[in-house]
Structure 1
């Protein structure tokens, strides 16, 4: 099953951000084809210097979940405008990250079997 997980929170709401990343990890662990869409403050989760310091209340470590997703090759699609505004660039993002536009997200969401939003 194709799944797009959209995360709009990062350091502004670590619990919501962590829940989104954990949902993506759970879907990937279940063998689904996952794309993680990061927009708004969620774009910072693709920054390798930021995500290790994001910790949701009573949640597993964000660091472990992000690294598991990267190890599985899950693409982190970073909204280009959102990422650029927050200093998320090729110089600091995780290895599976790339800039994508709203048209890419809409196309992926329409082609997906499920879209989960956080």
Structure 2
């Protein structure tokens, strides 16, 4: 199977992109692919599940169920360290499955995966 990296830079202000990122990551996981999600910029706020639970696309799709499936499947959910620090988010603030990561890790992952950006 293939390796996919989903990079999300948009936050709650762009619900369609948020939902689609997690939806397509979910589809890839269900098809047996290796998936990593990397949150940068405003997307790091999605590690606050109280924000994520309110994100809904115009089609009616909700972000949180897709995210929960990724958590259940133990998909790595990486959060950009400087982006998180700028928003006062630390490792202790992260829910299950999320972890702080770096730009160097993002580049390493991208070098070996098919990359989707949202």
TM-score (norm 1): 0.91
Shift of 1:47: 1.9
Report the Cα distance in structure 2 between the residues aligned to 1:8 and 1:43, rounded to whole angstroms: 8
Cα 1:52–1:92 change in 2 (3 A) is farther
Q: Give the distance between the partners of 2:82 and 2:74, measured in 1 at CA.
A: 23
Distance 1:19 1:66 in 2: 11
The number of aligned residues is: 117
Runs of 4+ in 1 over 6 A off after TM superposition: none
Given the alignment of the two structures, is residue 96 of structure 1 paired with residue 91 of structure 2, yes or no? no
- Structure 2 unmatched runs, 5+: none
User: What does the per-residue CA deviation read over 1:16-37, in whole Å, with 9 as the maximum and x for residues that have no partner?
Assistant: 1111111111111111110001
Aligned to 2:5: 4
CA-based RMSD: 1.3
Shift of 1:87: 3.3
Task: Tell me the TM-score normalised to structure 2 length.
Answer: 0.91
Contiguous gaps of at least 5 residues in structure 1: none
